[in-house]
Amino acid sequence: MDELILAVIPARGGSKGVPDKNLRPLCGKPLIAWTIEAALAAEMTLHGVVVSTDSPEIATIAQDCGGSAPFMRPDELSGDTADMMPVLRHAVDFIESRDQVALDWVLLLQPTAPLRAPEDIDAAVALARRGGCDSVISVEQVFAHHPILMKKIENDRLLPYYLEETEGTRRQDYGPPAYMRNGAIYLTRRDVLMEKKSIWGAAICPYVMPEERSVSIDSERDFLLAELVMREKLGITA
């Protein structure tokens, strides 16, 4: 029997960096719609695609896109200070109780990564099913943010923060290769999430995504960048 995977898409009604971010149109669709559609288009069978929200408007859009919004978040899981861990645990408790099932994996898909593709979800699930890990987390290789470029200031002097940078070092010579979480995929064993209260766990398997699908929206500038990349992806020129 296939393992049961629940996709959870967290989507609060408010946002400080980008007002009404999850509802804001991106290339003609609400931002959250891109994540719901990617989850539904994945070849790997999911037990459900659940949107955890405190907004009736977002819940309606989620259902219109083919997702599910079977509950409204309680007050303690809403607002700017709500942590992701209890939000995920609440969704798991609800679905397991409603459907009388025991889930195996929980797939966190943040709407702020709209360029994630269905094949990214499939590849992450395939890595998880190989075994030997508590979670699969998506990352991108970084160059502009490579640790070799990071500095600190001590006594008015610029010093290496961690790695020594030789003058004239070329980008392709940065080493070792560095990777950064891109916020697109967090796939966690259910027991790690519920019993150990961790999204990462102790053994993390990386899934490396290309730069063009790794845009994460936290600001107006990020939204503009996502719009440009999405338009190019869709072949929109007007």
pLDDT at 186: 98
d(CA 217, CA 69) in angstroms, rounded, equals: 23
Q: Are 47 and 6 in contact (CB under 8 A)?
A: yes
CA–CA separation, 199 and 89 (whole Å):
10
Helix axis angle for 56-64 and 31-41, nearest 10°, is 40
Please tell me the distance from the alpha carbon of residue 13 to that of residue 212, in angstroms, as a whole number.
Answer: 27
Q: What is the pLDDT of residue 170?
A: 86
| Residue 52 to residue 62: CA distance in whole angstroms | 10
For residue 182, is it left (φ>0), alpha (ψ between -120 and 50) or beta?
alpha
Tokens of 98: 């409603």
- pLDDT at position 1, please? 55
Residue where the block lists tokens 């790794």: 214
Amino acid at 125: V
- C-alpha span between 119 and 211 (Å, rounded): 15
Range list of β-strands (E), the chain: 5-11, 25-26, 29-30, 48-53, 105-108, 135-142, 151-154, 157-160, 178-189, 204-208
pLDDT along the chain (238 residues), means of 10: 91 79 94 97 94 95 95 88 92 98 98 97 96 97 91 95 87 88 98 97 97 93 94 84
Cα-based distances in Å from 92 to 110, 114, 151: 16, 23, 42
To the nearest 10 degrees (0 to 180), the angle between helices 118-129 and 31-41 is: 50
Task: Report the pLDDT value the prediction gives residue 238, as an integer from 0 to 100.
Answer: 65
**Distance, CA of 8 to CA of 39 (rounded, Å):** 10
- The pLDDT of residue 167: 86
Contacts with 69 (C-beta within 8 Å, 6 or more apart), sequence order: 50, 51, 53, 58, 59, 60, 62, 63
d(C-alpha 72, C-alpha 55), whole Å: 7
pLDDT at 17: 67
Placement of tokens 């699930």 in the chain: 125
* Strand, helix or coil for residue 63: helix
